[in-house]
């Protein structure tokens, strides 16, 4: 597969691949048959209570990337290819990934299951509904909304102020028309009128709770702590006050089991939970990561977008809660992406332009600094594309060498695990070295200190500005004693700053905090910056327009 005269689509490659029965994948991964609940022939849910008990846990390799551009970086592809390469080297490796949201699948992005010969399968089912987990979360979210509105309609004994309900409805959809709505119209039998809105499900607190809970009882406890709004006396109202945490847990209990699938090369992958990294915490479930650590010697996992978003949250939120440290961090980048950070337009990426690579490499530089700020060493995965010139590739590899950073060329899209062997070898060296991982801030610091730390050390900004709304939020958070929680930044993925147009390595900027939302179930404070939206919109020509089935009933148009 070194010749790519007529490149196949990801879907065509996925459909041509021969999958192993999922029971065989499970057996190879050390999962006993009684723990496997098959969903079709090639997907399964794992009952973790039926896994063998172990005291040794695998090492964790986190894959992140430079700031995303329309050129594409291939982070999921490298994650899959790296694990396949580790398998080829005889390592017992396993992948832990997020589930794709239907919003981007129908909107912009197509699928999210890797690409080329480094994919997880069955690609089509992973991208569409995937065992119903996200639908279960949507359902629990909206059941809570219906129960809140019904409580108010039926007499409102808790005294919930309809103007101060912070719990929003959710759909796994890009649907801007649902951002700001009014509900309960039509007269006294149709509910109590109030303002509301829908977030995309992957931004909902239940998704975050789902991904950070370590057991069903923990899930229930966290759900009970979620704040849904305030009374007329401005007292917080929680799910526990409504008495519905049991019903919500029941709705989630099957979804809460991690999903097992396989790569094209047969490496086992757990795909579970899918919060976005720009508006949520951006990592797959702790259940999946912990299960993979229990079963494999090396777990390759991914966090969303660049190191400023998913990786920061992986370190400061997920690893802190999970009590583990990443043993290595892979930073994926491409020549094309660096050229865009160097100011080249997407249409001009085909032409060699070493100067643009030199100009854009500051973005990579900052991401590497960010990784090191957590006391962990990075490896650069320079993910090859057919238009890359030797001069461009050589420049980046030499730049890394000069900086004392490990780097490897990868071609996992075209070659699968074979194209990630050099990266795998460097990762194996790195994970045997000691590391000084620590989250970037202590939770005891003030909220402003915590945010400022992230802005300065991760984004490279000067400091922060709070809007009046954010100041009011902060007072309320401090009065309730919620200021001891970590923070979860909601920021554009395209720039280190809160302005998506500032590519490369912006400097001298401040970050404006528009609103701070306490998420007590998830256990963090969401800080909204810039224009970031918790419900995306569809583009002018949505990917849905190209989707279809063929005469045999197979999927067409998934990318």
Using the minimum distance from each CB to its own copies, give the nearer residue, 155 or 434: 155
- DSSP states of 48-98 as a string? GGGSPP-S---EEEEEEESSP-TT---HHHHHHHHHHHHHHTT--EEEEEP
Residue 186 within binding range of its own copies, rule CB under 8 A: yes
Check if the beta carbon of residue 516 is closer than 8 Å to that of residue 185.
no
Q: Determine if 119 is a binding residue for its own copies (CB under 8 A).
A: no
277 is catalytic: yes
> Which residues are annotated binding-site positions for ATP?
69-76
Instruction: Give 140 or 329: the residue with its C-beta nearer to its own copies.
Output: 140
Q: Check residue 12 for interaction with its own copies (CB under 8 A).
A: no
Output the smallest distance, CB 220 to its own copies, in A: 7
- Residue ranges for the binding site? 69-76
By the rule CB under 8 A, 190 interacts with its own copies: yes
DSSP, collapsed to helix, strand or coil, labels residue 187 as coil
**Rounded Cα distance, 193 and 184, in Å:** 4
Active site residue 413: yes
Contacts to its own copies from residues 204-243, by CB under 8 A: 216-217, 220, 243
Answer yes or no whether residue 551 interacts with its own copies by CB under 8 A: yes
Give yes or no for residue 475 binding its own copies (CB under 8 A): no
Binding region for its own copies (CB under 8 A) out of 187-195, 279-287, 367-375, 401-409: 187-195
Distance CA 459, CA 455 (A): 5
Told to judge if 385 belongs to the known catalytic residues of this protein, a careful annotator would answer yes
Task: Give the pairing type, strands 198-200 and 169-171.
Answer: parallel
Q: Does the protein bind its own copies through residue 199 (CB under 8 A)?
A: no
Q: Any contact of residue 180 with its own copies (CB under 8 A)?
A: yes
Range in contact with its own copies (rule: CB under 8 A) among 81-89, 126-134, 323-331, 504-512:
126-134
Burial of residue 375, with CB atoms counted within 10 A of its CB: 0-12 exposed, 13-18 middle, 19 or more buried: middle
Alpha-carbon distance of 173 to 433, in angstroms, equals 43
Please confirm, yes or no, whether 257 is among the known catalytic residues. no
Asked whether 336 and 65 are in contact (CB, 8 A), the reply is: no
CA distance 362 to 356: 11
| Cβ distance to its own copies smaller for residue 397 or 547 | 547
* Residue choice 54, 70, 163, 177 for contact with its own copies (CB under 8 A): 177
Residue 423: strand, helix, or coil: helix
Closest Cα to residue 490, out of 460, 517, 529, 524?
529
Residues 424-463 that bind its own copies (CB under 8 A): none
Contacts with its own copies: how many residues (CB under 8 A)? 77
179 tagged catalytic: no
Using the contact rule CB under 8 A, the part of the chain among 184-192, 314-322, 388-396, 451-459 near its own copies is 184-192
Q: Are 138 and 178 in contact (CB under 8 A)?
A: no
Residue 150: partners with Cβ closer than 8 Å, 6 or more residues away: 191
Of 43, 45, 98, 257, catalytic: 98
Catalytic member of 64, 77, 301, 333: 77
Angle at the Cα of 75 from the Cα atoms of 70 and 80, rounded to 5 degrees: 140
Print the binding letters for residues 49-78 with its own copies: x by CB under 8 A, - otherwise.
Answer: x-----------------------------
The residues in 136-155 that bind its own copies, with binding defined as CB under 8 A, are 136, 138-139, 142-143, 145-147, 149-150, 153-155
Q: Please identify, among the stretches 91-99, 269-277, 283-291, 535-543, the one whose residues bind its own copies according to the rule CB under 8 A.
A: 535-543
Q: Any idea which residue has 């047969």 for tokens?
A: 266
CB 62 to its own copies: min, Å: 30
Subset of residues 305 to 334 that bind its own copies, contact rule: CB under 8 A: none
Among residues 76, 61, 117, 469, the alpha carbon closest in space to that of 277 is found at 76
Nearer to its own copies, 99 or 411 (CB): 99
247 lines the binding site for its own copies (CB under 8 A): yes
Q: Which of 208, 277, 356, 555 is catalytic?
A: 277
Pick from 447, 506, 112: which is nearest to 308 by CA?
Answer: 506
Q: Spell out the SS3 assignment of 148-181.
A: HHHHHHCCCCCCEEEEEECCCEEECCCCHHHCCE
Contact characters 25-54, its own copies, x per CB under 8 A: ------------xxxxx---x---x-----
Q: How far is the CB of 229 from its own copies (least distance, A)?
A: 14
- Using the rule CB under 8 A, give the single segment among 124-132, 436-444, 469-477, 496-504 that binds its own copies: 124-132
Identify whether the C-beta of residue 140 lies closer than 8 Å to the C-beta of residue 220. Answer: no
Identify the sign of the CA torsion 240, 244, 246, 252. negative
According to the binding rule CB under 8 A, does residue 179 interact with its own copies? yes
Q: Does 132 bind its own copies (CB under 8 A)?
A: yes
User: What phi and psi values does residue 556 have, to the nearest 5 degrees?
Assistant: -130, 140
Provide the 10 A C-beta neighbour count for residue 82.
Answer: 33
Considering the complex, state which of residue 40 and residue 52 has its C-beta at the smaller distance from its own copies: 40
Per the annotation, the verdict on 346 as an active-site residue is no
Catalytic residue status for 425? no
> Which residue numbers are catalytic?
75, 77, 98, 109, 277, 305, 385, 413
């Amino acid at each position: 597969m070194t010749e790519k005269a007529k490149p196949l689509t990801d879907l065509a490659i996925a459909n041509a691949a021969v999958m192993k029965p999922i029971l065989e994948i499970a057996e190879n991964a050390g999962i006993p048959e009684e723990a496997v609940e098959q969903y079709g022939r090639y997907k399964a849910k794992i009952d973790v209570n039926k896994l063998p008990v172990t005291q040794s846990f695998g090492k964790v390799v986190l894959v992140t990337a430079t700031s995303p551009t329309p050129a594409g970086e291939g982070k999921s592809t490298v994650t899959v290819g790296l694990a396949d390469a580790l398998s080829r080297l005889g390592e017992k490796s396993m992948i832990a990934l997020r589930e794709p949201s239907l919003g981007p699948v129908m909107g912009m992005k197509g699928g999210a299951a890797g690409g080329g010969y480094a994919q997880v399968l069955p690609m089509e089912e992973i991208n569409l509904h995937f065992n119903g987990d996200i639908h279960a979360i949507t359902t629990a979210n909206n059941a809570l909304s219906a129960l809140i509105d019904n409580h108010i309609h039926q007499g409102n004994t808790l005294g919930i102020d309809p103007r101060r309900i912070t719990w929003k409805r959710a759909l796994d959809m890009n649907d801007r028309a649902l951002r700001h709505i009014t509900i309960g119209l039509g007269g006294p039998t149709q509910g109590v009128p109030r303002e509301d809105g829908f977030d995309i499900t992957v931004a909902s607190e239940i998704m975050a709770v789902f991904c950070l809970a370590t057991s069903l009882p923990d899930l229930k406890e966290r759900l009970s702590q979620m704040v849904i709004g305030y009374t007329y006396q401005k007292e917080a109202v929680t799910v526990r006050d409504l008495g519905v945490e049991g019903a919500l847990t029941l709705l989630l209990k099957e979804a809460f089991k991690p999903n097992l699938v396989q790569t094209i090369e047969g490496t086992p992958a757990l795909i579970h939970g899918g919060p976005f990294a720009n508006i949520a915490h951006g990592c797959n479930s702790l259940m999946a990561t912990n299960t993979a650590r229990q079963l494999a010697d090396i777990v390759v996992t991914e966090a969303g977008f660049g190191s400023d978003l998913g990786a920061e949250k992986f370190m400061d939120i997920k690893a802190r809660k999970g009590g583990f440290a990443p043993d290595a961090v892979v930073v994926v980048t491409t020549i094309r992406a660096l050229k865009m950070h160097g100011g080249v337009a997407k249409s001009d990426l085909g032409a060699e332009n070493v100067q643009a690579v030199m100009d854009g490499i500051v973005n990579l530089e900052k991401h590497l600094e960010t990784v090191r700020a957590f006391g962990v060493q990075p490896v650069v995965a320079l993910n090859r594309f057919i238009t890359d010139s030797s001069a461009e590739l050589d420049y980046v590899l030499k730049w890394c060498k000069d900086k004392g950073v490990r780097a490897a060329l990868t071609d996992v899209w075209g070659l699968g695990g074979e194209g990630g062997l050099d990266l795998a070898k460097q990762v194996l060296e790195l994970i045997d070295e000691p590391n000084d991982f620590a989250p970037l801030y202590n939770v005891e610091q003030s909220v402003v200190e915590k945010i400022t730390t992230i802005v300065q050390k991760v984004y490279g900004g000067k400091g922060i500005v709070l809007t009046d709304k954010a100041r009011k939020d902060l007072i309320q958070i401090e009065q309730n004693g919620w200021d001891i929680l970590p923070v979860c930044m909601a920021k554009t993925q395209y720039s280190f700053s809160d302005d998506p147009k500032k590519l490369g390595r912006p400097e001298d900027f401040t970050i404006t905090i528009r609103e701070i939302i306490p998420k007590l179930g998830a256990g963090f404070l969401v800080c909204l910056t810039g224009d970031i939206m918790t419900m995306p919109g569809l583009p002018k020509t949505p990917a849905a327009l190209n989707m279809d089935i063929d005469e045999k009933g197979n999927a067409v148009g998934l990318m």
